[in-house]
Chain A
Amino acid sequence: MTRLILSRLFYGAIVVWIVATITFFLMHSVPGGPFDSEKKFPPEIMKNIQAKYHLDQPVWKQYVFYLSDLIRLNFGPSFKYRNRQVEDILSQTFPVSLYLGFWALVIALSFGVSAGIVSALKHNQSFDRIAIFLSTLGISVPGFVLAALLIYLVGYRLKLLPPALLEDWTHYLLPAFSLAAAPSAYLARLTRSSLLETLGKPFVQAVQAKGVYGARFIFKHLLKNSLSPVVTVLGPLVAMLITGSFVIEKIFSIPGMGRYFITAVTNRDYPLIMAVTIVYAVLIVVMNFLVDIAYGLLDPRVRLK
């Protein structure tokens, strides 16, 4: 096990390094720099700024500086928020996204998986049809449409929940639901089809012939043998949900990390672009590793090597 973890750690580090390198050079090749603005500054001022942030050095040198800082986990100061370190920005915004993402995940899993189970068991009955209809809707309606609709109906018309901002727990409800809608729909369909496949297998009849029914049948025999596809998508899904969504955070005005995936690029805030990309890459690597372990727990035939 220790060897496995060490080797995965090594490969993970290589993946992150490749992602960082590609991002670094892509970002520098995009036209427009962090300090280009509508009002042009005299050349000596531009020179001072470039010197301060080492932008006057050749790109390969900046890359070497960057990597050596990265190894020491120093992301440097943000170019846009000039009084703040990138670490501070992330440590303030990531927990917000994490918290919201966690609740979205809980909603997605509980709604998605349970709807999928009931659908599969009541195959082709009215519940199944309604669930399929809703999940098609959930997948095809973009998050921002749903969010705008919820703000309008629940926040503005019915005045049941606050339309946006983040003052107390009630403010988390609308964004968490908006964020969870698509994943729950997706998980429901995935669980349903996977369960239907398992239900057709010979061992199911054997188990049922032995008189195993009800919850024990569903959870111990059926679900355990059908969850692999769900667990597979769960890895990237968790990484995506907990790093925050640009659209949802923007619409509900939530101070999370998701917004930086877009704004850091439009601002050409190089250190921040690198930091959010690396955080995301690391999370994906870690989640995929956890998924691999989960496979082994679900299915003894999978040996971890």
Chain B
Amino acid sequence: MNIWQKLFFLIMACFVACHPKSRTQGERLRYNLQTEPPSLDWSITTDNASIEVLNNLMEGLTRYDENLKPVPALAESWGVLDDGRRYIFHLRKNARWSDGKPVLADDFVYSWQRLIKPETAAEYAYFIYLVKNAREINSGEVKDVNQLGIRALDARTLEVELKEPAVYFPVITTFVVTYPQRKDLVERYPESWTEPEHLVTTGPFVLTKWQHEYKLIIEPNPYYWDKQPRVKQVIFYMVNERTTELALYDTGDLDICQLPPQAIPSYRKSRDYHYRPILGTYYVGFNIEKPPVNNPLVRRALAMAIDRSKIPEILKGDQEPATSFIPPGISGHNPELGFKFNPERAREILAQAGYPGGKGLPPITLAFNTMDSNQLVCEFVQAQWQNNLGVTVYLRNMEWKVFLKELQLDPPAVFRLGWYADYPDPDNFATIFLSDSGNNHTRFKSKEYDELVSRASFEKDPQKRQQLYDQAQKMILEEHCIFVPLYFYTVNYMIQPYVRNLDYNPMGQLFFKDAWLDFGVKTK
């Protein structure tokens, strides 16, 4: 061995020694958030990454149990008055901020007023539009923010007055924008109160480090009112590239990672593989004013000509084929609704519309935003329509923001979209297609539908409520057929075998407070 070879081996040995052996580092969990959370200010945040972190740092009046029912969190109980128009929340005596100060009713009042002030320009302010005067203050009609229907009756009693009764209001108070805020800190550090040196929180963890665009570390909050978390630390990395994420998982540098569709086939045999249905529906929508889909018969024929049972084979992520809109796991779901796959009937209807065998029907263009999974799904829909109906279908992909702009200004005749639940209530799905909804790109307007949805939102009897939602879904899925649901979303992920008790709820939210690491488990 000459001197160069010796040197080479020496350097290599040095690298091997320097390479951190991650598994031996104890009670910490490493998770990939994928992107930098754009803002941890829970009044203005809107994106999944920030909310994922905040869900572990903060807690509000209520939180979800395993069945997605709202249960007491910072509020130990609440009363409903005036037939659902007024809620009184009683805060826990042991509810504290991470600096030891008690959580007061005033902290909620401050936070909600800040959320609704026009100057804050909070996108999710509309979450509390249910509250009296909220919309008026937010739009500048009412100047006095104290007119907002929220009051501190005493240090630990909070009264909320609603514009109209809503049975699902305790669901709204699980959401980040309704969490309390500390006036003293927000006003003293307006630019930096969400940084680790100033941020105080009410949830199971506190933020201890935030290296922007790289990683964020949270540790147990000693003043948390409930059981202390079992892990000593959770590290959120921001690895953006999916293949890198997988490599880090494979080398043991990550404990949890999400799987992109193309990676699922090679990982699904592993014991680390998991999937979970989440509350979200993927669909193809029609702009019902644009020919040829301005004809309801054409739309129905198109809806019947897609064999959705093939979708899990295409996307490979255990997606559940869908014909109805409201996903399983919440009330309002009814798998019987919507058109099933029936190519003969589809051809008959198309012939009825005046296009036997697809003849004479102008080509249809299906628009979607550029993304691998959309490409796969849209190519599949294209093939189905061409083979089953003889219709010519073109695909047109666009960059995301361009696509959104087009949906807003001049929706394409046929487009793909999806909806994830903001809160686990059918109301969140049904309201998308209201006449004045900004998310309704189908140009469908119906007073009858609007009324049905509004009645359902304050119907207390679950059975009657289900009937109302069935009726509403029937209208948009069958009678008018303004869109075609294709499948309910799932998330596919890998978890190292030593990670226990991870709480991944159907809203796609991940909670680390009960998780722990079991090093008795043999790793591969």
Taking Cβ atoms with an 8 Å cutoff, the residues of A that contact B are: 30-33, 35-45, 47-49, 51-53, 80-85, 89, 92-93, 148, 151-152, 155-156, 159-170, 173, 250-255, 259, 266, 268
Report B161 CB to chain A, min CB distance, Å: 20
* Apart from the given pairs A44-B135, A52-B119, A152-B247, 19 other A-B contacts in the complex at a CB distance below 8 Å: A30-B402, A32-B405, A35-B123, A39-B439, A48-B121, A81-B38, A84-B212, A89-B212, A159-B16, A162-B253, A164-B244, A165-B214, A165-B237, A169-B18, A173-B15, A251-B241, A254-B214, A259-B240, A268-B401
- From known contacts A31-B402, A82-B39, infer whether A41 and B241 are also in contact, taking CB-CB under 8 Å: no
Q: Which of B19, B41, B123 contacts A83 (CB 8 A)?
A: B41
Q: Which of B38, B121, B191 contacts A80 (CB 8 A)?
A: B38
User: Which of A37, A85, A173 gathers the greatest number of chain B CB atoms within 10 Å?
Assistant: A37
Residues from chain B with Cβ under 8 Å of A156 in the complex: 247, 250-251
B194 close to A (CB within 8 Å):
yes
Report B242 CB to chain A, min CB distance, Å: 10
Report B434 CB to chain A, min CB distance, Å: 12
A74–B422 Cα distance when bound, in Å, is 37
Residues from chain A with Cβ under 8 Å of B212 in the complex: 84, 89, 92-93, 255
Q: Are B119 and A40 in contact (CB under 8 A)?
A: no
A170–B247 Cα distance when bound, in Å, is 17
Residues from chain B with Cβ under 8 Å of A37 in the complex: 46, 123, 404
Q: Are B15 and A48 in contact (CB under 8 A)?
A: no
Residues from chain B with Cβ under 8 Å of A89 in the complex: 212
Chain A residue nearest to B36 (CB atoms) is A81
Report B195 CB to chain A, min CB distance, Å: 8
Q: Are A41 and B123 in contact (CB under 8 A)?
A: yes
Report A268 CB to chain B, min CB distance, Å: 6
Q: Are B118 and A82 in contact (CB under 8 A)?
A: no
Q: Are A167 and B20 in contact (CB under 8 A)?
A: yes
Q: Are A266 and B399 in contact (CB under 8 A)?
A: yes
Interface size grouping (class) on chain B: 35 or more
Q: Which of B20, B123, B238, B399 contacts A45 (CB 8 A)?
A: B123
Which 9 residue pairs of A and B lie closest in terms of their CB atoms, listed nearest first?
A32-B401, A40-B438, A44-B139, A255-B213, A255-B214, A52-B121, A253-B239, A48-B121, A32-B405
Mask: chain B, 193-214; 1 = CB below 8 Å from A; 0 = not: 0100000000000000001111
Residues from chain B with Cβ under 8 Å of A160 in the complex: 12, 15-16, 19
Q: Which of A31, A47, A167, A259 contacts B213 (CB 8 A)?
A: A259
Q: Are A31 and B438 in contact (CB under 8 A)?
A: no
Q: Which of A42, A164, A168, A251 contacts B126 (CB 8 A)?
A: A42
Interface positions of B from 212 to 227, Cβ below 8 Å from A: 212-215
Q: Are A93 and B213 in contact (CB under 8 A)?
A: yes
Q: Which of B12, B401, B408 contacts A40 (CB 8 A)?
A: B408
Q: Are A168 and B44 in contact (CB under 8 A)?
A: no
Q: Which of B118, B247, B250, B422 contacts A48 (CB 8 A)?
A: B118
B351 close to A (CB within 8 Å):
no
B122 close to A (CB within 8 Å):
yes
List 7 contacting pairs A-B, 8 Å CB cutoff, sorted by A: A36-B405, A93-B213, A155-B251, A160-B12, A163-B253, A164-B248, A255-B213
Chain A residue nearest to B422 (CB atoms) is A39
Q: Are A162 and B19 in contact (CB under 8 A)?
A: yes
Residues from chain B with Cβ under 8 Å of A84 in the complex: 212
Q: Which of B15, B191, B437 contacts A161 (CB 8 A)?
A: B15
A52–B403 Cα distance when bound, in Å, is 25
B518 close to A (CB within 8 Å):
no
Report B172 CB to chain A, min CB distance, Å: 15
Report A158 CB to chain B, min CB distance, Å: 9
Residues from chain B with Cβ under 8 Å of A252 in the complex: 244
Residues from chain B with Cβ under 8 Å of A255 in the complex: 211-214, 238
B400 close to A (CB within 8 Å):
yes
B148 close to A (CB within 8 Å):
no
Chain B residue nearest to A267 (CB atoms) is B401
Report A270 CB to chain B, min CB distance, Å: 12
Residues from chain B with Cβ under 8 Å of A85 in the complex: 191
A82–B213 Cα distance when bound, in Å, is 14
Q: Are B439 and A168 in contact (CB under 8 A)?
A: no
Chain B residue nearest to A257 (CB atoms) is B213
A49–B118 Cα distance when bound, in Å, is 8
Chain A residue nearest to B46 (CB atoms) is A37
Chain A residue nearest to B117 (CB atoms) is A48
Report A151 CB to chain B, min CB distance, Å: 5
B406 close to A (CB within 8 Å):
yes
Interface positions of B from 235 to 266, Cβ below 8 Å from A: 237-241, 243-244, 247-248, 250-251, 253
Report A157 CB to chain B, min CB distance, Å: 10
A46–B162 Cα distance when bound, in Å, is 23
Report A302 CB to chain B, min CB distance, Å: 41
Report A52 CB to chain B, min CB distance, Å: 4
B40 close to A (CB within 8 Å):
yes
Q: Are B138 and A253 in contact (CB under 8 A)?
A: no
A80–B126 Cα distance when bound, in Å, is 20
Q: Are B122 and A45 in contact (CB under 8 A)?
A: yes
A31–B18 Cα distance when bound, in Å, is 48
User: Which of B192, B239, B406 gathers the greatest number of chain A CB atoms within 10 Å?
Assistant: B239
A250–B214 Cα distance when bound, in Å, is 11
Chain A residue nearest to B123 (CB atoms) is A41
A52–B418 Cα distance when bound, in Å, is 29
- From known contacts A40-B439, A81-B39, A89-B212, infer whether A164 and B247 are also in contact, taking CB-CB under 8 Å: yes
User: Which of B123, B138, B240, B422 gathers the greatest number of chain A CB atoms within 10 Å?
Assistant: B123
Report A214 CB to chain B, min CB distance, Å: 23
Residues from chain B with Cβ under 8 Å of A250 in the complex: 240-241
Residues from chain A with Cβ under 8 Å of B211 in the complex: 255
B129 close to A (CB within 8 Å):
yes
A162–B17 Cα distance when bound, in Å, is 11
Residues from chain B with Cβ under 8 Å of A41 in the complex: 123, 126, 438
B468 close to A (CB within 8 Å):
no
A43–B436 Cα distance when bound, in Å, is 11
Q: Are B243 and A148 in contact (CB under 8 A)?
A: yes
A33–B402 Cα distance when bound, in Å, is 9
Interface positions of B from 1 to 60, Cβ below 8 Å from A: 12, 15-16, 18-20, 36, 38-41, 44, 46
Q: Are B406 and A31 in contact (CB under 8 A)?
A: yes
Residues from chain B with Cβ under 8 Å of A162 in the complex: 19-20, 251, 253
B125 close to A (CB within 8 Å):
yes
Report B51 CB to chain A, min CB distance, Å: 13
Residues from chain B with Cβ under 8 Å of A49 in the complex: 121, 123
A259–B123 Cα distance when bound, in Å, is 26
